[in-house]
Amino acid sequence: MTRAVAMATASGLGAQVAWRLLALAAVVALVLWTGLDEQISPYWEDILYLTRQHVVLVAASGGAAILAGIPIGVWLSRPGMARHAETVMQVFNIGTTIPTLAVIALSMTLLGIGFAPAFFGLFVASLLPIVRNTYTGLLAVPAHLKEAATGMGMTPRQILWRVELPNALYVIFSGVRTALAINVGTTPLAFLIGGGGLGELIFTGIDLMDTGMLLAGAVPTAMLAVLVDFAMAQAQLTLVPKGVNPLR
Amino acid sequence: MIQLEDLTKTFGAANRLVVAADRINMTVPSGEICVLLGPSGCGKTTTLKMVNRLVRPTSGRILINGEDTSGLDDIALRRQIGYVIQQIGLFPNMTVEENICVVPRMLGWDAGRAKARAAELIDLVGLDPHQFLRRYPKELSGGQQQRIGVIRALAADPPVMLMDEPFGAIDPINREIIQNEFLKMQAELKKTIMFVSHDIDEAVKMADKIAIFRGGRIEQYDTPDRILARPANDFVANFVGADRTLKRLRLIDARQVAQDAPALPAETAPQEAARLALAAGAPVVVVVDAARRPVGYVPAEALAGARGTLSGLAQPMPVTMPAQCDLRAVVSEMFTHDMRWLACTDAEGRFAGIVTQRAVTAALSEAAPAVAAQ
Ligand SMILES: Nc1ncnc2c1ncn2[C@@H]1O[C@H](COP(=O)(O)OP(=O)(O)O)[C@@H](O)[C@H]1O
Ligand SMILES: [Mg+2]
């Protein structure tokens, strides 16, 4: 019976991977079938250059948001912070309701134009879901687990690393996934404040009513979004331990 | 040995004080199970948690094996004390093996030794190591999780165990099974155990000593038999229940009140049997086969003036009980079969004496709680 369950789970995993790959293949097929590739091909060099810029922006701001957001979430969840954490989270929650375009615009008023304000705006926009999920995920770890861990003689640091973080990991991962989706979706706007990226083709295409140019920006942006979400889903599936992973 | 001296805990600020534990004094001798028993909110958990310092005492002392624990570092102290809670608290992110190995690894055991220990312990509670060590807690039944919770606390072989309603979350049938398993383990391991319960039946079953709590104070601290036989006050009497005398049946084994009766082959003459029955003061003679297994009986009054052999007079034996079972089971069988006595057998099924209703009532009379003291 155990083996049957294991096989069912394995095929479940396989099916999920297969579906995502299929979706990706469908996008590529659509591009070829509609003849989009011919409209796009004149912009090939621009696409390569701008995609690189775009990816650097996503990776840098997203990575920074993860590196900052998780420790901030952990810090807010510590007992010593209990009195202030809710207030801080309220501020973060209000921050989430501000449209990302407004965040980008505000960032420009602070930092001018170029890579820096684009990076900062995207960083702030992706930070919120990571902090929020890390914080709530850690608080949701059942008190009796922490009590058992304390009673067994674990140090607070051991409890954090061996009990709290693993048990909150699924929720934290969901936060990271949301953050990266927001990030990838917002990055085309970076062009508006001189941050470069595929937004350049999209917005210029719109201005010039040039469908080919517009698509040359839109299609890679869409594919990047699908790819990032796919990668995150895979990571969530495989990196979150089996005992606390509802997907397995 | 665990000694609590004037142990007190108050919660809250000066205006709204809750005295959760009020000058608790008690000693749990080495190798014994002491059950803290009482209604909800009476301070059992607080008292228990002061021992491993999950709750900091307001005043008083705790000594383990004579050593004042206030001199020890919290972490070091806790690693030497097994701790089991009602919610079990297995870590869902770890396999069963990893859960069991947590404390041994923190104490610096190498991985091989810790794993061998895990396999040994899981075998001890009747679970197959190959099947269960790699599982995650969510892949276990409630009863299995509970067993793992107990052996995880035993992993580093701590001399002292604290158990807070450890079997409270399982269904009654499985609870009974796990309690029995645990008592069997304890007979070998001889841990010094503080055990919180709100269930008098569980307490009577598990305890060497019971401490009855009310409002943060100990009302009575005594053996289960003495608590049932001589409750110190009305609160204790009410708490243990109006059927407290019947509860004592569990505490006495059949062999403790069994008396001898003539065990004779079927060929014996009735006169001879009558003489022996009179000499033994027995209401019956028991007819046994070649292996001394009871097969029938003849009431003493039916022997007078009878002829032939016992085989003509004997009635088949309706039921026998193992001599090591408790009186509750014996009395239950007596009532079922409408008998005034019951034959007991040893491990090989040989006749080992009879238990009479008179002997049972004599053992239960409050004047003699010493019967079950050993
Ligand atoms: N951390 C705490 N803060 C304030 N009061 C508490 C705390 N823990 C327990 N108490 C109070 O102390 C009393 C005893 O609680 P507890 O030891 O948990 O009882 P029991 O385990 O016997 O049900 C209760 O009145 C409870 O409300
Ligand atoms: Mg309690």
Residue A9 Cα to ligand 2 middle (Å) = 39
Average pLDDT of the residues of chain A = 88
Residue A51 pLDDT > 50, yes or no? yes
**CA neighbours within 13 Å on the CB side: how many for B149?**
33
Q: What is the 3-state secondary structure (H, E, C) of chain B?
A: CEEEEEEEEEECCHHHCEEEEEEEEEEECCCCEEEEECCCCCCHHHHHHHHCCCCCCCEEEEEECCEEHHHCCHHHHHHCEEEEECCCCCCCCCCHHHHHHHHHHHCCCCHHHHHHHHHHHHHHCCCCHHHHCCCCHHHCCHHHHHHHHHHHHHCCCCCEEEEECCCCCCCHHHHHHHHHHHHHHHHHHCCEEEEEECCHHHHHHHCCEEEEEECCEEEEEECHHHHHHCCCCHHHHHHHCCCHHHHHHHHCEHHHHCECCCEECCCCCHHHHHHHHHHHCCCEEEEECCCCCEEEEEEHHHCCCCCCCHHHHCEECCCEEECCCEHHHHHHHHHHCCCCEEEEECCCCCEEEEEEHHHHHHHHCCCCHHHHCC
Chain A closest CA to B174's CA: distance in Å?
22
Q: Does A173 touch chain B (CB under 8 A)?
A: no
Tens-digit pLDDT profile for residues A123-140 = 999 999 999 999 999 999
pLDDT of residue B249: 92
A contacts of B136 (beta carbons < 8 Å) = 242-243
Q: Which of A29-33, A68-72, A201-205 has the lowest mean pLDDT?
A: A29-33
Overall fold of domain A2-244: MetI-like fold (1.10.3720)
Q: Per-residue confidence at A8, pLDDT binned at 50, 70, 90?
A: very low
pLDDT of residue A152: 96
Considering only CB atoms, A241 lies closest to which of B90, B93, B152, namely B93
Residue A243 Cα to ligand 2 middle (Å) = 28
pLDDT of residue A12: 56
pLDDT: which is higher, A226 or A32: A226
pLDDT of residue A3: 45
Q: Per-residue confidence at A143, pLDDT binned at 50, 70, 90?
A: very high
Search chain A and give the residue with CA nearest B134: A243
Is the shortest distance between the CB of B49 and ligand 1 below 6 Å?
no
Overall fold of domain B254-362: CBS-domain (3.10.580)
Search chain A and give the residue with CA nearest B50: A151
Is the shortest distance between the CB of B18 and ligand 1 below 6 Å?
yes
Q: Does B145 touch chain A (CB under 8 A)?
A: no
Size of interface A-B (CB pairs under 8 A): 76
- Interior/surface letters A52-91, b for 16+ CB within 10 angstroms, e for the rest: ebbbebbeebbebbbeebbebbbebbeeeeeeebeeebee
B contacts of A244 (beta carbons < 8 Å) = 92-93
Residue B206 burial by CB count (10 A; 0-12/13-18/19+): exposed, middle or buried? buried
* Nearest ligand (C-alpha, residue B10): 1
pLDDT of residue B372: 46
CATH placement of domain B2-242: 3.40.50.300
Q: Does B138 touch chain A (CB under 8 A)?
A: yes
Residue spans per domain, chain B: 2-242, 254-362
Instruction: Pick the residue of B46, B53, B86, B91 with the most A CBs within 10 A to test the interface with A by mutation.
Output: B91
Residue B93 Cα to ligand 2 middle (Å) = 26
Search chain A and give the residue with CA nearest B158: A152
Predicted TM-score (pTM) above 0.80: yes
A contacts of B153 (beta carbons < 8 Å) = 152
Considering only CB atoms, B52 lies closest to which of A149, A151, A155, namely A151
Q: Pocket of ligand 1, candidates B24, B45, B56, B198: which has the most ligand atoms within 8 Å of its Cβ, to mutate?
A: B45
Q: Does A144 touch chain B (CB under 8 A)?
A: yes
Q: Pocket of ligand 1, candidates B17, B44, B46, B51: which has the most ligand atoms within 8 Å of its Cβ, to mutate?
A: B46
pLDDT of residue B119: 96
Q: Pocket of ligand 1, candidates B8, B18, B19: which has the most ligand atoms within 8 Å of its Cβ, to mutate?
A: B18
Residue A9 pLDDT > 60, yes or no? no
- ipTM at complex level: 0.84
Residue spans per domain, chain A: 2-244
Is the shortest distance between the CB of B197 and ligand 1 below 6 Å?
no
B55 within 8 A of B9, measured Cβ to Cβ: yes
Q: Which residue's CA is the closest to the ligand 1 atom numbered 8?
A: B46
Q: Per-residue confidence at A115, pLDDT binned at 50, 70, 90?
A: very high
pLDDT of residue A43: 84
Q: Which of A36-40, A82-86, A152-156, B129-133 has the lowest mean pLDDT?
A: A36-40
Q: In chain B, which stretches have pLDDT less than 50?
A: 371-374
Asked if B92's CB is within 8 angstroms of A148's CB, the reply is no
Search chain B and give the residue with CA nearest A242: B93
